[in-house]
Chain A
């Protein structure tokens, strides 16, 4: 008889004899494959009878969106998005809606939270104009456009308005800007939509906006501002804008606005930057910005307000670039590296290290040695940046980034941006991503607090559940329990945390557990990415494979390289099977190369087996032939916030 069966019978016997019932310890006795029953000796350690007693960590992560535009965003509205914040929330809660091009659309599974983040500049203008708002029509130019519309030349009016806005001749007096009634009404309406949709415990509709700083000819410095607060506080100040006279393009001024808001209302806000990949070297400066040096003050203010970074979204994934991480075989993933946001200035290789998250995490530690604060000590999330009025990130249900990309047979071949600098095709737009938080409950406050402590991770749209803990005492037995998270929180810090005071002779150890998306693809592998500053002060990085699927038949080769998991994707049918990989990976890993005198960060990256990309679904559904070079498969992934190790001074 096998030991495991013996144990089963023994435990079954225990189970029917309540008086003798032991309260099992959380460690040491859990394993049923290979260990014998002598482990039962640890039964005499007695935690409380109820395994829930004292438990205050979440059972499941909350999946959401922190970056959604609606018709209230000037660009989205003018180019054809008609859906507003209320539509976005309805969609997120799982209700079917009709898209901007008249197509019925429904999310496969509801989201747990959503932040509508319309552009704060000229917020709400177009809808009010089209509805004949008298405050706007008091202006002669606006009246002329409106009359043009009334006279049957609506399309012409729209083009004139967009042109005027983009060449700077838009009449400033009718621009929707802070302090005006139109702006105020729009902001109140955004808040009202969130208040209506917010259902604590079930769905959090979080207040927010996007501050859309764009410098030079379109270098992207955008940030989303996220509120912890309800409408009673958020309504007390109009959002920060970038255009004069009220606004500024400089993030330093945004942080001042955030400070002023908290001061005035007693509320809480944080900022999430995105698309460093389109900033042309400006997102993560190390020397200077806006003519001012990157100094101790910049570092501490940025670290204070910018707790998270949106690392993956429709306009590319910015974890790292193949040029920056030549030894990372998974680095070449959904890269957008041709130019800035408007594709008016081409990319130069030296810009890259100031654009990608991993290099920023590294440079941040370097700056910390100079200033005492790490300006780039951020956690990670993903989101969509959809301009549709609803979030779209599912490969088999992707409605694109803008209205022009809603499903149709031609989108796989159309340009998304085309200038004399270069072309980005619509097929390059990614169906990504999600912001995931380990919040203690589904409320605005708990989600915000999890964001503040960076207990978050990013996914490219998949709903993996990923736990990641760092400590000094994790051992393999910790994963052989029914509650690895309990060991994780008890013996270490979760993602986003800090390790200090390395005990003599010990290396940091990490407990990582990944469950595949419950209706998604199996997992290929779990990796831990370590970045550190070496004794010479140079940045270093290394990727470790720490757990992988099909482990009974798949071993690293002599050079330590883990072979590919393979692929089951049938491109013609846009289908795959879960016959490779594993549904769950869990392990404890200790850093084999640890030096307690050197700063380091560690984050986990979990990679799925290959699945059909949205382009494959399009080709299959519309029966169109994709051009050469169109990527048809994808390896979806999750990236946790890092855990940082800081040596004693």
Chain B
């Protein structure tokens, strides 16, 4: 807090050389500027409750308005890609759980889809149904959390969050029963899944999805969706235009909130998504409210898919008995496989040189790329709006930093 140590007029928002905040920047510092008066440089995070983990935003403020924002991350970086280059294909599956740890089942799925493309493996019918069921369950869990945490960012002091976490725990109990773990599921295998769900488990999931979960959704809708404070705070905050969203590679609910009809479940129809009747919700304005609504509506659509999948699931093996998991040595070549994860397009790019370890293992993390335009969405907004804009992007630092 010593403005006199700085030369007046040298720091204007437009003339910041990229990436050169003063190296000795403390947490808060006033910068005198001839044109804008006093600018304030604030380092939000990495240990800040609104940043969803160890994420930092270097913000330059003119009064309460953001004139510059730089996301800083990497605090959780463990070079997952390098780790995977030194272990077998199978041994990477538990590591993928640690990417987006709120939805580990879809991470497993994206990885096994890429390996199945690389080694041309097939999945039996029942295996595909089980994958869809657990994948959509992961989407419900993720969106449930997101709605709760977003409302927490809005300052609701835990009531909606605890309602969400209560439902999430109920779903996690089912997941734990099936996979043995609440969050680190390690469930998918090349050519199928690790364990076949019992009829009893499927019946209880069905009961839950018929009864308690729709009740929770209706309750959240009634409590939140039309709430005046929520509308006042979120509508018009953090607007993302569709052209920029496409060019910046934004995917998932965030892209659809901007009105771009692109859902990989519909476009690529991977697995057996062509058999289900569901719709893709689209937003109109691309603001925080639309991003919130996308999550609420997608939960309804996931519920539809789950009901159909539970109705139609056939008997038979859940894993291809001929698929080789241990000691898998795909032929030399490369493959890029992707799915619609709850946060956006999750892809894996694998290169095999014929050895038991991948030569190159690359993850396309949706929440990392969705952060590209965080500054564009936050410029000209207040700090409080930046907090909810970041909350509506839905990042998990395990995936951003890898």
Decide whether A and B assemble into one complex: no
A→B interface (CB under 8 Å): none
